[in-house]
Chains A and B, each alone.
Chain A
Amino acid sequence: MNDLAAPSGLAALANPSKFLALAARLLPWLSAATVILLVSGLYAAFFIAPPDYQQGETVRVMFIHVPSAWLSLAIYTMMAIAALGTLVWRHPLADVTIKAAAPLGAVFALICLVTGSLWGRPMWGTWWVWDARLTSMFVLFLMYAGIIALAQAIEEPTRAGKAVAILVLVGFVNIPIVKFSVDWWNTLHQGASVFRAGGPTLDPSILWPLLLMALALSCLFAVMQLLAMKAEIARRRARTLAILAASRPASRATIGR
């Protein structure tokens, strides 16, 4: 038996049907917020934010590149907390959360890498350099790919959940490396300009469209995460029903003996 009690708010969601009811209530609101924020964010990014004094119009890539980078880090952090939920509290939805979030994090990390490359070519004169920030971000993408592969490789959900949780926690060491790589090493990638000790260095006319896009993509992530968790819960239910169906003739034969 597990002596450590899960945080009370999360414990209430341990019953999948309660979670599904909550998801059904949240999804319409989150979907509406996503559409409104995405339209406003893209409008602000293309029509309100001025060109940068050095980079010109190319700075507009930042409005998709930076939120994708933030989200890929935030999703991994959320997965690491869920991994603790799997290993410490054995919360039934913790490994569902990880399995649903991993492909989402991988896609946001890939968007960050590809848009960064497309931004780097005109600004740095190169598609790619093996500097600390770019390399650690690439490692984050590989971590996501490894987690997805491991989750697919083990059929039994509880065993898969534990193995994946351990891998997620081991990989979490890369998150501070990604964040602080620009401070710890001399990189071609610029330093932090929003989340830094002295406050943001961006002009408000560029900062608020960036934050709006970050909020929009966060809402989009929340919608996709809830839908992916619903799919994963249904997959596990289907698995249980299939096992029950497969065991019926055998149990009948045993009873008849």
Chain B
Amino acid sequence: MIVLGPHGSFIIAAYAFAVLALIGLFVWILLDLRRQTRLVVRLEAARTMHTDDSASPTP
């Protein structure tokens, strides 16, 4: 195991902050992508349904 010396807590804190910040950013981007993709799918489906309704002949 590596010995980080008397200032080990500063080194660990620096890497811990960087890891947390990058993981947080990555998760935020993935959640945003999933939310927007689902929204597009829902709106596309509604649009298709509307087009089908408009296209169907009225009695």
By a beta-carbon cutoff of 8 Å, the part of chain A in contact with chain B is: 46-47, 51, 56-58, 60-61, 64-65, 68, 103-104, 107, 110-111, 114-115, 118-119, 121-122, 220, 224, 227-228, 230-231, 234-235, 237-238, 241-242, 244-245, 248
A contact residues around B17 at 8 Å (CB): 111, 114-115, 118
A contact residues around B26 at 8 Å (CB): 224
Q: Please classify the interface of chain B as helix (H, G, I), strand (E, B), loop, or mixed, using the class held by over half of its residues.
A: helix
Asked if A228 contacts B29 (CB within 8 A), the reply is yes
* A64/B46 contact (C-beta < 8 A), A46-B2, A228-B29, A231-B36 known: no
B contact residues around A220 at 8 Å (CB): 22
**Nearest chain-A residue to B36 (Cβ)?**
A234
B contact residues around A103 at 8 Å (CB): 25, 28
**Nearest chain-A residue to B34 (Cβ)?**
A231
Number of A-B contacts (CB under 8 A): 91
Asked if B30 contacts A64 (CB within 8 A), the reply is no
Instruction: Choose among A58, A68, A104 the residue that contacts B10 (Cβ–Cβ < 8 A).
Output: A58
B contact residues around A119 at 8 Å (CB): 10, 14
Asked if A57 contacts B5 (CB within 8 A), the reply is yes
Asked if A110 contacts B7 (CB within 8 A), the reply is no
Asked if B14 contacts A118 (CB within 8 A), the reply is yes
Bound complex: CA A64 to CA B21 (Å): 12
* A64/B36 contact (C-beta < 8 A), A103-B25, A227-B29 known: no
Binary contact readout B26-49 vs A (1 if CB under 8 angstroms, 0 otherwise) = 101110110011011001101100
Bound complex: CA A196 to CA B47 (Å): 57
Q: How many residues of B contact A (CB 8 A)?
A: 32
Asked if A104 contacts B47 (CB within 8 A), the reply is no
Instruction: Choose among B10, B36, B47 the residue that contacts A244 (Cβ–Cβ < 8 A).
Output: B47
Asked if A231 contacts B11 (CB within 8 A), the reply is no
* A238/B11 contact (C-beta < 8 A), A57-B3, A107-B21, A228-B29 known: no
Bound complex: CA A61 to CA B34 (Å): 34
* A231/B43 contact (C-beta < 8 A), A46-B2, A56-B5, A57-B3 known: no
Instruction: Choose among A64, A122, A224, A245 the residue that contacts B47 (Cβ–Cβ < 8 A).
Output: A245
Asked if A241 contacts B43 (CB within 8 A), the reply is yes
- Shortest distance in angstroms between A224's beta carbon and chain B's nearest beta carbon? 6
